[in-house]
Amino acid sequence: MTTDQTERTPGDAARSRIGSDVLDPAVKVSRAGRFDTMEALHALEDALDAPAPRRERTWLHRVLSTLDVLSAMLDAQRARDEDTSSLLTEIRREDPRLGPRVDRLRAEQADLRIAITSLRDQLAPDAALPVDTADIRDRLAALARRLRAQRARESDLVYEAVNIDLGVGD
């Protein structure tokens, strides 16, 4: 067995089938979208970490503003991921055995967007109600964990399919 044969992986075959002219731009777009989403998540986490005592309404406004940015970034990422030239679409098309996992990732992302919208609606400021910062932090931290887990599954899928690490910004 030659060195060339021992180092070939399923990802190498997928890269050969898909072709660098298709794969490279798709990876670049995917990484950029992931980076933007992670920047928005980091901003949300920074807002959640800010001190809240005696300034709960200001704190809540900042948290909601950063949550809105995260929501917009996830919407933009979804649109890119569903494009016919996206990395996930290419993987699904070229490796049908991975199709169900791509579908699951897309469903998880849709669930995350729904959860963000629901939380945003529930957290909308109501001057008559006190701001429960601990509850808001817990609920948004759970959402952040779900997003990070979904991103890890996406990275694993892409790496398995084409041996490319999407970890930029994670």
Q: What is the structure's pLDDT at 41?
A: 97
Tokens of 117: 């919208």
Neighbours of 6 (CB within 10 A): 7
Residues in Cβ contact with 9 at an 8 Å cutoff, skipping those fewer than 6 apart: 163
- Residues 50, 95 contacting (CB under 8 angstroms): no
The model's pTM is 0.81
What pLDDT digit, counting tens, does each position of 71-92 carry?
A: 999 999 999 988 888 999 989 9
18-55 b/e with 16+ CB inside 10 Å = b? beeeebeebbebbbebbebbbebbebbeebbeeebeee
Q: What is the structure's pLDDT at 83?
A: 87
Under DSSP, the state recorded for 14 is H
Identity of residue 89: T
Q: What is the 3-state secondary structure (H, E, C) of 27-67?
A: HHHHHHHHHHHHHHHHHHHHHHHCCCCCCHHHHHHHHHHHH
What pLDDT digit, counting tens, does each position of 89-139 carry?
A: 989 988 889 999 999 999 999 999 999 999 999 998 787 888 999 999 999
For the chain, domain boundaries = 3-162
